[in-house]
Amino acid sequence: MRRLKVVVWVGLLSVVVSAFALRATADQALGARNVAMVVTGGTVVTMDGGRRVLSPGAVAIDGDRIVGVGTPDEIGRAFASKRVIDTTGKIVLPGLVNTHGHAPMVLYRGLADDLALMDWLQKYLFPAEAKTVSAEMVRVGTRLAALEMIQSGTTTFADMYYFEEEIAKATKAAGLRAVLGQTIIRFPVADAKTPDEALARSETFIKAFKGDSLITPAVAPHSAYTLEKQTLLASRDLALKHDVPLLIHLAETEDEVRIIKEQAELTPTGYLESIGFWTPRTLAAHSVWVTDEDISILKRRGVGVSHNPESNMKLASGTAPVPKYLAAGVALGLGTDGAASNNDLDMFEAMRQAAFLHKLQSRDPRVVPAATALELATLGGARALGMEREIGSLDTGKRADLIVVGMHRARQTPRYDALSHLVYATHGDDVETTIVNGQVLMHERKMLTLDEAAVLRDAEAFAVRVRAAVAR
Ligand SMILES: [Zn+2]
């Protein structure tokens, strides 16, 4: 009986749905559909399945989604909007995806550079963090990082830091999309005295933000060499329990390789494999010191890799085998890492440096061409984070995360090839308009979700405390 009722209801429902579908088609045939926004006139680099570059092209946006991509004529016939953004002479592309960083560390930008890693950590970074990391520091720092990211075209970022709930609130207020993980580490830190406390904090954080339209909560065990096996596995279990991403630093330095080898007679990747650490949604940052066998493990386990060329160069960590990752088909994205080791969050620069680094390393200028670098910063990053169905390209149905880049500077003139200019001649400052989830966060360089002057003033005020913390 119950089954019969269900069948009747489903039958009725499908009649109603088809009636609506017919109606929608009829409306479109009669006239254009009204949508929230149309971006039209510029070159549209879609990064879609055919890697189409529409010149000129147009994108229609309604709510938080892209509802149409095509020529200005096609989009003009199908859609009408009170809000039209004219991008003539400019380039429109998917918002950039920064797959690894520590947003609040922008407050330690340039505090100390050009030091040996242990000197840098022990004399500057650790004392500064011990004395200044707080909920307030994280709020002030995240707002500054969000300002910089919006101004340079990043629309999604992955983050591992402390007081992650404050990072989430500041990120949402700025309108950015992010994958955020509360750091879990062996020693006492500002927001957790023990790894168990950090795990409990992580779960509270996940419950608070699961299902949010902008924030994807994650679990972020710091690394294999700063955590016991039981904490690594508890982190994995927490990520599986809530079906959220797992973020970890992996094989960043030769020291890390040595430490894990002494402990377990394995590479860091081999060790995590041996304990069954991977989940279907793991992102490994750096992954510089890996063997061919490690690469095949990462590929087999579907682990995303975040390549951070600028941080790896500045800290002289080493060169990640990017051509090998690409050949193996590993889900590879680009990251800036924290601003203490970069020192900015400009993903255009990350693209250019990635291309240059691997050309030099392989002594082959054909390695990491512009199209590949751009893919790493968009669709590749989305894939590495397991978000390729939602972001990373301009496709109907995906989230409306896109940027408009000006192309009128001396260094961009003349222009023969859009991809070449985006990777080799464009800076973050050339981004004019940033849209996330259908919301315009910056238009023609004017900030709409953040009070730029207040963000800069608060950061300068906080820097006084950072300076005092490392004064000797
Ligand atoms: Zn990092």
16-44 mean pLDDT: 68
165-192 mean pLDDT: 96
Q: What is the pLDDT at residue 126? A: 87
Give 458 Cα–ligand 1 centroid separation in angstroms: 24
Give 294 Cα–ligand 1 centroid separation in angstroms: 20
Binning the chain into helix, strand and coil, the percentages to the nearest 5 are 45, 20, 30
Give 219 Cα–ligand 1 centroid separation in angstroms: 14
Residue 462 tokens read as 């906080």
Q: What is the pLDDT at residue 1? A: 41
Residue 44 tokens read as 């549209």
Give 306 Cα–ligand 1 centroid separation in angstroms: 10
Give 29 Cα–ligand 1 centroid separation in angstroms: 52
54-85 pLDDT per residue, tens: 999 999 999 999 999 999 999 999 999 999 99
pLDDT value at 223 more than 90: yes
Burial state string for 57-89 with b = 16 or more CB within 10 A and e = fewer than 16: bbbbbbebbbbbbbebeebbebbebeeebebee
371-395 pLDDT per residue, tens: 999 999 999 999 999 999 999 999 9
Q: What is the pLDDT at residue 117? A: 81
Contact predicate 397/65, CB 8 Å: yes
Q: What is the pLDDT at residue 405? A: 98
CA gap 147, 215 in Å, rounded? 17
pLDDT value at 29 more than 80: no
Residue 32 tokens read as 């254009």
Max CA pair span of the chain: 81
Contact predicate 328/337, CB 8 Å: no
Q: DSSP strand E in 302-420: where?
A: 304-307, 332-334, 402-405
Contact predicate 170/146, CB 8 Å: yes
The sign one gets for the Cα dihedral 178, 406, 340, 174 is negative
CA gap 247, 281 in Å, rounded? 9
Q: What is the pLDDT at residue 122? A: 87
Give the mean pLDDT of the chain.
94
27-46 mean pLDDT: 86
Cα-flanking dihedrals φ and ψ of residue 12, to 5°? -60, -45
Give 315 Cα–ligand 1 centroid separation in angstroms: 12
- Order of strands across the sheet that contains 37-40: 65-70, 58-62, 37-40, 84-86
Burial class (CB in 10 A: 0-12, 13-18, 19+), 22: exposed
Give 408 Cα–ligand 1 centroid separation in angstroms: 35
102-153 pLDDT per residue, tens: 999 999 999 999 998 888 888 999 889 999 999 999 999 999 999 999 999 9
CA gap 250, 307 in Å, rounded? 11
Q: How confident is the model at residue 30 (pLDDT cuts 50, 70, 90)?
A: low
Predicted TM-score of the model (pTM): 0.93
- How would you classify residue 276: left for phi > 0, otherwise alpha for psi between -120 and 50, otherwise beta? left
First to last CA, the chain: 81
pLDDT value at 28 more than 60: no
Give 28 Cα–ligand 1 centroid separation in angstroms: 49
pLDDT value at 435 more than 90: yes
DSSP state at residue 122: I
Q: Could you tell me how far CA 210 lies from the centroid of its own chain?
A: 18
Site of tokens 């975040």: 306
Question: Which of helix, strand or coil describes residue 269?
Answer: helix
Contact predicate 287/269, CB 8 Å: yes
pLDDT value at 17 more than 80: no
Q: What is the pLDDT at residue 21? A: 39
Least confident of 29-43, 147-161, 219-233, 303-317: 29-43
DSSP sequence for 279-311 = -TTEEEEE--S--HHHHHHHHHTT-EEEE-HHH
Site of tokens 């990777």: 423
pLDDT value at 8 more than 50: no
DSSP state at residue 380: I
Q: What is the pLDDT at residue 7? A: 45
159-170 mean pLDDT: 98
CA gap 444, 151 in Å, rounded? 10
Per this entry, what is the length of the chain? 472
Residue 97's nearest CA partner among 180, 47, 45, 155 is 155
Give 49 Cα–ligand 1 centroid separation in angstroms: 31
Percent over 70 (pLDDT), the chain: 94
Give 242 Cα–ligand 1 centroid separation in angstroms: 24
Amino acid identity, residue 366? R
CA gap 449, 32 in Å, rounded? 31
| Residue 117: CA count within 13 A, CB half-sphere | 13
263-291 mean pLDDT: 98
Q: What is the pLDDT at residue 31? A: 80
Q: How confident is the model at residue 24 (pLDDT cuts 50, 70, 90)?
A: very low
